Structure 1
Amino acid sequence: MAKASDWDETLADLARRRSHTKAMGGPERVAKHHAKGELDARARLDRLLDAGSFRELGTLVGGDIAADGIVVGSGAVNGTPVMVGAEDFTTLAGSIGPGGNSKRYRIAELALRHRVPLVMLLEGAGFRPTGGHYGRTPTDLLAQANCSGKVPTVAAVLGPSAGHGALVAPVCDFRIMSRQGAIFTAGPPVVKESTGEEITKEDLGGPDVALSSGVIHNLGEDDETVLDDVRRYLSYFPPSAWSYPARLPDDATTAARATPELLDIVSRDNKRVYDMRNALDVILDRPDWFEVQPKFGRAIICALGHLGGNPVAVVANQPRVMAGSIDADAADKAAHFILVADSFHLPIVFLADNPGMLPGSRSERAGVLRAGGRMFAAQTAATTLKLHVTLRKAYGFGSMVMSLLGFDNQGATYAYPGATMGAMSAAALTRATHAEEDVSAKLRDAELQASYRSAEHLGFDELIDPRETRDALLAGLHRGLHARQAAAEPVSRTVILP
């Protein structure tokens, strides 16, 4: 008869091997990592995941190389199962070996198979220089690309990330970086060898560079802030495109209410600047909404929040930046955000207050028409519920990219009385046509009457008092959500983005 003691030697060997893996790069390297003010890979997973939920996969992969430089497994975030990977910089600089590559592929494969989010915590040197070739071994990026639009994907850059590992970030829906992060195709030594350029990792791909280029969406001060923001971001999303976002329980914040504050926030004078963020504080359930890419394309605000307890995505013009004129960066940002929101069935609220696309030679060289076309294609192809409000003005293509175009599958369209719209403003049209003063006066009057003429022909579902804004949006949202009478499915993409 077998005895429990028969297992002693075998289990002791397993425990020894596991202990070696969990020691990562060893006490000295781990201590050096902590001395930089950073968490190690395992501490990062502890911070990200619900307490006690982490279950490691591939613990013994790599043999003497602890976990082959990457800790992977499953866990939970806000009670939702997730697949996670954390590059371990203390072990061969978090570089990717054959075993680590297989582990990365495996967690992406399982994320899609089990329809749960995938989160990658990056700090590594890319593929490990071995002098060999991995041949036809599966690459993690193939599995990760298959996840796109089907499960939420998030990358957090928490240190230097180079080469193949760095490519994980731009393939993800949401990318966030700590102050100590850096991301680049190749690090400073390779750059110097290849081009002769001497440059620091901060100047090559630090936060300033990564945020201004749009490669990274958000910035957190430290590891803890970044990981907490990843938890916040995921809280707005369903586990996959096969489910709908979860509604919050009813409380005082989710109830209908008038918004008289908007009369003081949104000036009736089109030329007077206001901060759209203040309007969002009033319209959404609470002022703790989450902004995506606040430092890039600042003429548009992309935000995640709750309306009546329901997670929603908001695309709003920002009059404080270029009077709300939409430049190439803002349009590119919004296009990506709309695609992500649509993929996971978040209703999209468009709040328009812009004089059009940004004109000028610099804007044209930046490709504003291509970017605007991309945003228009994204929003007009969106299958999720769309709600629109024109607050003060929306001109030309700037109105179309904000889902103002009639019969564009909106669930509800509203405007404030006196909102101005048209191909261009009366002032611009006067200058363009060299109109006489009497004609110019008629153009200004027609502009002021535009919202009423449009309402007379059902250009909007209704002109609303600003104090009715939240309640009108809630009515449209609640009605539109009744369309969810069948199981959720991934969105089928048919449009080719410009």
Structure 2
Amino acid sequence: MAKAEDWAETLDELSRRRDHSRAMGGDERVARHHGKGKLDARGRIQHLVDKGSFREFGTLVGGDIAADGIITGAALIDGRPVMVGAEDFTTLAGSIGPGGNAKRYRLAELALRDRVPMVMLLEGAGFRPSGEHYGRTPTDLLAQAQCSGKVPTVGGLFGPSAGHGALVAPVCDWTIMTGQGAIFTAGPPVVKESTGEDISKEELGGPSVALASGVIHNLGADDAAVLDDIRRYLSFFPSSAWSYPSSTPAGEGTGHRATPELLDIVPRGNRQVYDMSDVLDVVFDDSGWFEVQPRFGRAMITALARLGGHPIAVVANQPKVLAGSIDADAADKAAHFIMVADAFHLPIVFLADNPGMLPGSRSEKTGVLRSGARMFAAQTAASTIKLHVTLRKAYGFGSMVMSLLGFDNQSATFAYPGATMGAMSAAALSRASNATEDLEAKLRQAEVDASFRSAGHLGFDDLIHPQETRDVLLDALERGLYSRQAAAQPVTRTVITP
């Protein structure tokens, strides 16, 4: 008959190996890491997930190299399952060995198999120089790419991330970094050896570079702030493309209400500047909204919010930047955001107030037309619920990328009275055609009358009073939600992105 003491030696060995793995790079290295104001890899997981919910796999991978430099497992965030991987910089700089590579692949494989989000917490040096040939060993990026559009993927960057590990971030749907983060193809020593350029990691891929280039979406003050934002971001999304976003229970700040404040926020004159952020504060639920990529393409606001408790995505022109003109960065940002929102069935609210695509030689050199076409392709291919409001103006292609174009599968389109639209503004058309004073006056009057004329031909569903904005959007959204009469499925994409 078996006795418990027969297990003692074997279980002691298991405990010893587990303790070695959980010690990461050892007390000295962990203390040095904490001394930089950082959480260690296991501390990051503990802060991110629901208390006591983390269940590790691959604990003993790596043997003497604790967890082979990456901690992986399943956990809960707000009661919902997720897969989490955290690179351990205290162990060989979080570099990737054969075992770590297998764990990363398994993590993405399980996320897709079980249809749950995947979160990667990054701080590592890329593949570990070992002289070992990886052969046909599958790479984690292959599995991660299979997750795209099927389960939400999020990357958090807490320190330097180079080489293969750095590629995880841009393959994610959304990424966020701390002020101590840096991301690059190769670090400063390799750059010095390859090109002769002497450069610091901050100058090469720190926040000022990564945010300006659009490689990273958001910035957090420290490790805890980044982890809190990851939780908040995921709260807007379903667990996978096989489910719909969950609505919060009706409560204060989620119901119908008039929005007379918009009469003081949105100027009647097209040339006056205002902050579109103030419109979002008024129109959406009191729980607040979460801006995605605020430091890139600033002429466009892309945000996650709730309307009547229902998670939504918001794409809005920002009149206080470039007068709301859509430049290449703004269009690229919006295109990616729209595709992510559509993939996970978030309704999209478009708030338009722009004079069109940004003209000029500098804009053309950045490929504004290609980027605009990319945004148009993303929004017209989107099969989710689409709602549109033109607040003051939307000209030319700038109206089409903002989903004003008729017969484009919108659930509802609205405009404020006096909103102007057309191929271009009356002022621009007058200059382009060398119009006489009389003709220019007629063009300006036609511009003023444009909203009423368009409403008379059902150019949009209705003209609305600004104080009705929240109510008409909420009514249209709740009607549109009735379209969810079949089980959710991943989006099938047929458009070749420009």
- Structure 1's unaligned 5+ residue stretches are none
For the Cα contact (< 8 Å) 1:281–1:287, is it kept in 2?
Answer: no
The 5-angstrom pairing of residues 408-419 of structure 1 reads 408-419=408-419
SS at match of 1:254: coil
Can you list the C-alpha shifts for 1:249-282, whole angstroms capped at 9, x where unaligned?
A: 0012111000000000001111111100000000
Can you list the C-alpha shifts for 1:124-182, whole angstroms capped at 9, x where unaligned?
A: 00000011220011100000000000000000010000000000000000010000000
1:177: which partner in 2?
Answer: 177
Whole-Å Cα distance in 2 between the matches of residues 26 and 210 of structure 1? 31
1:139: which partner in 2?
Answer: 139
| Runs of 4+ deviating beyond 6 Å | none
Letter in 1 for 2:188: P
For the Cα contact (< 8 Å) 2:287–2:306, is it kept in 1?
Answer: no
Alignment pair present for 1:314 and 2:314: yes
SS at match of 2:225: helix
Can you list the C-alpha shifts for 1:402-441, whole angstroms capped at 9, x where unaligned?
A: 0000010000000000000000000000011110100000
- Cα deviation, residue 78, structure 1: 1.2
SS at match of 1:253: coil
Can you list the C-alpha shifts for 1:328-360, whole angstroms capped at 9, x where unaligned?
A: 000000000000000000000000000000000
The 5-angstrom pairing of residues 411-430 of structure 1 reads 411-430=411-430
1:295: which partner in 2?
Answer: 295
2:266: which partner in 1?
Answer: 266
For the Cα contact (< 8 Å) 1:356–1:397, is it kept in 2?
Answer: yes
- Cα deviation, residue 286, structure 1: 1.7
2:405: which partner in 1?
Answer: 405
Letter in 2 for 1:497: T
1:69: which partner in 2?
Answer: 69
- Cα deviation, residue 287, structure 1: 5.8
1:16: which partner in 2?
Answer: 16
2:454: which partner in 1?
Answer: 454
Letter in 2 for 1:88: D
Count of matched residue pairs: 498
Whole-Å Cα distance in 1 between the matches of residues 262 and 407 of structure 2? 28
1:283: which partner in 2?
Answer: 283
Letter in 1 for 2:225: T
- Structure 2's unaligned 5+ residue stretches are none
1:377: which partner in 2?
Answer: 377
Whole-Å Cα distance in 2 between the matches of residues 266 and 446 of structure 1? 21
2:368: which partner in 1?
Answer: 368
SS at match of 1:193: helix
Whole-Å Cα distance in 1 between the matches of residues 448 and 354 of structure 2? 15
For the Cα contact (< 8 Å) 1:119–1:154, is it kept in 2?
Answer: yes
Whole-Å Cα distance in 2 between the matches of residues 128 and 152 of structure 1? 28
For the Cα contact (< 8 Å) 1:280–1:287, is it kept in 2?
Answer: no
Please provide the CA RMSD for this pair: 0.5
1:337: which partner in 2?
Answer: 337
For the Cα contact (< 8 Å) 1:111–1:118, is it kept in 2?
Answer: yes
1:54: which partner in 2?
Answer: 54
The 5-angstrom pairing of residues 238-257 of structure 1 reads 238-257=238-257
1:82: which partner in 2?
Answer: 82
Whole-Å Cα distance in 2 between the matches of residues 318 and 385 of structure 1? 22
Whole-Å Cα distance in 1 between the matches of residues 474 and 390 of structure 2? 16
Percent of matched pairs sharing the same residue? 77
Whole-Å Cα distance in 1 between the matches of residues 462 and 80 of structure 2? 39
For the Cα contact (< 8 Å) 2:108–2:144, is it kept in 1?
Answer: yes
Whole-Å Cα distance in 2 between the matches of residues 400 and 321 of structure 1? 20
Whole-Å Cα distance in 1 between the matches of residues 252 and 64 of structure 2? 56
For the Cα contact (< 8 Å) 2:241–2:345, is it kept in 1?
Answer: yes
For the Cα contact (< 8 Å) 2:253–2:287, is it kept in 1?
Answer: no
2:130: which partner in 1?
Answer: 130
2:349: which partner in 1?
Answer: 349
Whole-Å Cα distance in 2 between the matches of residues 252 and 157 of structure 1? 36
Whole-Å Cα distance in 2 between the matches of residues 4 and 130 of structure 1? 42
SS at match of 2:253: helix
Can you list the C-alpha shifts for 1:3-51, whole angstroms capped at 9, x where unaligned?
A: 1111111111100000000000000100110111110000000011011
2:212: which partner in 1?
Answer: 212
1:431: which partner in 2?
Answer: 431
Whole-Å Cα distance in 2 between the matches of residues 464 and 428 of structure 1? 27
Provide the TM-score with structure 2 as the length reference. Answer: 1.00
2:464: which partner in 1?
Answer: 464
Whole-Å Cα distance in 2 between the matches of residues 61 and 392 of structure 1? 60
Letter in 1 for 2:420: T
